[in-house]
Amino acid sequence: MSENTFLNIKNRSFAITAQLAGATSGAPANGAVIAQGGRFGGWSLYVQDGRPGFTYNFLNMQRFTITAPTTLPAGDVELRFEFTYEGGLGAGGNGRLYANGNLLAEGRIDRTQPMAFSASDGADVGDDSGTPVIENYGGDAPQFTGAIRNVTIDVAPILQAAPPPAHP
């Protein structure tokens, strides 16, 4: 989906929740669960060698990555990333990565893109087509090797510091 038709996460707190189906083989999952933008700006929630991560790519000048130290649990998993925005235009904030409600990792995203990510790279679920947000998703390609049941993005009001909206 092009950026102008996709949900705007810029300049606000947001949360991404993905329902992932349990693996059918012993190989760990790899690839983008959901991504927006590309090499010159964007973000990706992904799994690399079974470990979930989130990378925010600021204009291809800085990348802020939050990665879990352990692999996802076996079976169905609710993977969630929450970003608490500090408020103002292009400000930073704190990110937290969860699996089944358990905090796996947290980190700082020092700054964010206030306007646009890309004129040509859109948003993808289960892939990161076009130029990728990160260079290596594990495996041979950015396509997610697991099964995604659904993805939900919740957003707070724009330009306000607020916790990410709660997800039922």
Per-residue pLDDT of 101-128, as tens digits, reads 999 999 999 999 988 887 778 889 999 8
Phi (first) and psi of residue 3, to 5 degrees = -60, -35
Asked whether residue 167 is domain-assigned, the answer is no
The tokens describing 96, both together, are: 């937290």
CA distance 34 to 102: 20
What's residue 135's pLDDT?
Answer: 84
Asked whether residue 165 is domain-assigned, the answer is no
pTM of the model: 0.90
Asked whether residue 141 is domain-assigned, the answer is yes
Q: Domain range spanning residue 113?
A: 3-155
Q: E strands, 12-92, where?
A: 14-21, 31-38, 41-48, 51-58, 62-67, 77-85
State what percent of residues in the chain have pLDDT above 90: 54
Asked whether residue 96 is domain-assigned, the answer is yes
* Residue 118 near residue 44, CB atoms below 8 Å: no
What's residue 62's pLDDT?
Answer: 94
pLDDT digits (tens, 9 = 90+) for 49-96: 899 999 999 999 999 999 999 999 888 999 999 999 998 889 999 999
Residue with tokens 């939900």: 152
Going by pLDDT thresholds of 50, 70 and 90, the confidence category of residue 5 is low
Indicate the helix (H) or strand (E) that contains 149. Answer: strand 147-155
Asked whether residue 161 is domain-assigned, the answer is no
Asked whether residue 166 is domain-assigned, the answer is no
Number of domains the chain is built from = 1
What's residue 168's pLDDT?
Answer: 57
CB atoms within 10 A of CB 68: 21
Asked whether residue 95 is domain-assigned, the answer is yes
**Whole-angstrom distance between the N-terminal and C-terminal Cα of the chain?**
26
Task: Return the CATH number at 146.
Answer: 2.60.120.200
Asked whether residue 85 is domain-assigned, the answer is yes
